[in-house]
Amino acid sequence: MSLKWWRGPREEPSAATAGPASPAGPSGSGATAPEPADAQDTQDTQDTQQDGTGTHDTHSAEVVTAEQGVGFAELPTEAPRTGPLSPLPAPLLTGLPTGLPGMRADGGLLRGRWIAAASLTGTSHLLHGTSGQDVYRYTATHDGSGLVLVVCDGLGSRPATAQTGAGLLASYLCEAAAHITGQRMAEVPQDVLREVLATGNAAVRRHRAAVLEPLTDSDLAATVAVCWLPLPAEGEGEDEGVARHALTGHAVRVGDCNVFTLARGRYEAPFPAASEGPANVVTAYLPCEDPARVAEYAPVALAGVDAVVVTTDGLAIDLFDSPSVRTWLASRWSVPCGPARMLDSLRYRRQGSHDDRTALITWSAPLDHIPRLEP
């Protein structure tokens, strides 16, 4: 007799906790086990389905636990739920050797700046047992002139290999970016960041040729955003340092990863808006033959900015298209976050939002001004 990990067959949540799916509503009836946060909130979901516009918060006190029959327990969240939502089946983990962990998070100081990051595998992957494909990395330049934040998003059309490409690209870009000097950034920032992209791109291609044959560039395809932010020089006061760098960061990207600034709850996006038309036409990625041709550069104005956020498209789209997500995240990110808070900030549910979510943030407040946070 084989050992069971589950106590008997999976059960639908009881009417008292979740209620049956409405046959006429978008909930459908094929879910084998809802995610806990959904289960406790089905009545609310049905409410939003009726008007199709609702946004509301969950109530932590009502969160379903394993003992109530959904099969697994999860921590409560106050993350919002927006639009008519379908119940989610139980997540399927990938057995792929190249698969990424489903969630990653960080929070801490680097060169006196607080950095927090979180990456969650999207439900589109969790429903099909495929790997998330987002990767983040951060570094400080060797000369201490700046922080470098990098996010990469492997292309979904290469489910077995693109996360490997994203990981390699992020690592090689950070390695190249660590050699950036403040002097060159002050003179030719666009050229410097394009050189970083070219160096990282070439390194991935060399790695592929040496170790990963017969994979092609497109097997490792990933979109990317790289953001350099100035740090005050050693011995230099915060105000002097900020003035010296003219309050400007610099970013470069390939594809639809993005950079945002947050100032008193208001977002700005340095890169230009996508033109009107279909959303799924993404043709730029790395590695490729000519990274200079597909790279976009944007200065990042830092005057008055509280935080800089670098994201993959799964989160960027939600920031652009959902006022409730913007409000929620601005609230959560109004102070420097620890890793658990960062993860929780990405636990919102939004209609049609099933891609991986990754955010890498640094706050402008220097060390002295950062409050101590309990988890």
Partner 1 sequence: MSQFSQSERPAVFPVCLLIDVSGSMSGGPMAAMNTALPAMQRAILDDPTTGEIARVSVVTFSDTAACVLPLSDMAHARMPTLSPQGGTDFAEGFRVGREALVDGIGALGRGARYHRPVVFFLSDGQHNSSQSWKSGFDRLRSKEDKYGAEVVSFGFGQANRDVIAQVSTRHAFFAEDMDPAVAVKEILHTVLMSIKTTSGSFQAGGAAGLTIPESTGLTPLPVFTN
Give which of 130, 49, 138, 134 is closest to 86, Cα–Cα: 49
Q: Using CB under 8 A, which of 12, 44, 219, 313 touches partner 1?
A: 313
- The three-point CA angle 360-363-368 to 5° equals 140
Containing 104, the helix (H) or strand (E) segment is strand 103-110
Closest approach of partner 1 to the CB of residue 375, in Å: 31
> Would you say 30 or 375 has its CB closer to partner 1?
30
Q: Using CB under 8 A, which of 119, 130, 171, 201 touches partner 1?
A: 130
First-last CA distance in the chain: 43
The number of residues that bind partner 1 (CB under 8 A) is: 69
Q: Using CB under 8 A, which of 86, 94, 164, 362 touches partner 1?
A: 86
Closest approach of partner 1 to the CB of residue 301, in Å: 15
Query: Contacts with partner 1 in 201-240 (CB under 8 A)?
Result: 221, 223
> Would you say 22 or 181 has its CB closer to partner 1?
22
How far from chain centre, in Å, is Cα 114?
17
Closest approach of partner 1 to the CB of residue 358, in Å: 11
Output the 3-class SS for 176-197.
HHCCCCHHHHHHCHHHHHHHHH
| Tokens (6 digits) for 112 | 């006196």
Q: Using CB under 8 A, which of 321, 327, 331, 373 touches partner 1?
A: 321
The answer to whether residues 369 and 307 touch, using CB atoms and an 8 Å cutoff, is: no
Query: Contacts with partner 1 in 278-297 (CB under 8 A)?
Result: 278-283, 285
Q: According to the binding rule CB under 8 A, does residue 339 interact with partner 1?
A: no
Closest approach of partner 1 to the CB of residue 155, in Å: 5
Q: According to the binding rule CB under 8 A, does residue 58 interact with partner 1?
A: no
Q: Kindly indicate which of the ranges 122-130, 201-209, 242-250, 303-311 contains the residues binding partner 1, using the contact rule CB under 8 A.
A: 122-130
> Would you say 36 or 122 has its CB closer to partner 1?
122
Closest approach of partner 1 to the CB of residue 351, in Å: 4
> Would you say 133 or 141 has its CB closer to partner 1?
133
The answer to whether residues 154 and 99 touch, using CB atoms and an 8 Å cutoff, is: no
Print burial letters for 28-65: b (CB count within 10 Å at least 16), e (below 16).
eeebebbbbbbbbbbebbbebbeeeebbeebeeeebbe
Q: According to the binding rule CB under 8 A, does residue 149 interact with partner 1?
A: no
Q: Exposure of 110 by Cβ count < 10 A (0-12 exposed, 13-18 middle, 19+ buried)?
A: middle
Q: According to the binding rule CB under 8 A, does residue 199 interact with partner 1?
A: no
Query: Contacts with partner 1 in 174-193 (CB under 8 A)?
Result: none
**Single-letter residue type at 185:** M
Q: Kindly indicate which of the ranges 175-183, 244-252, 269-277, 286-294 contains the residues binding partner 1, using the contact rule CB under 8 A.
A: 269-277
Query: Contacts with partner 1 in 349-368 (CB under 8 A)?
Result: 350-356
The answer to whether residues 359 and 326 touch, using CB atoms and an 8 Å cutoff, is: no
| Tokens (6 digits) for 203 | 């390194």
**Residues 6+ away with beta carbon under 8 Å from 208:** 215, 216, 217, 220, 287
Q: Kindly indicate which of the ranges 141-149, 155-163, 190-198, 287-295 contains the residues binding partner 1, using the contact rule CB under 8 A.
A: 155-163
Closest approach of partner 1 to the CB of residue 99, in Å: 13
CA 354, 42, 23, 11 dihedral sign is positive
- The three-point CA angle 137-305-191 to 5° equals 55
Query: Contacts with partner 1 in 4-33 (CB under 8 A)?
Result: 24-31
The answer to whether residues 147 and 229 touch, using CB atoms and an 8 Å cutoff, is: yes
> Would you say 125 or 250 has its CB closer to partner 1?
125
Interacting residues with partner 1 (CB under 8 A): 24-31, 49, 53, 55, 82-89, 122-125, 127-128, 130, 133-134, 153-157, 159, 162, 221, 223, 255-256, 267, 269, 273, 276-283, 285, 312-314, 317, 319-324, 326, 350-356
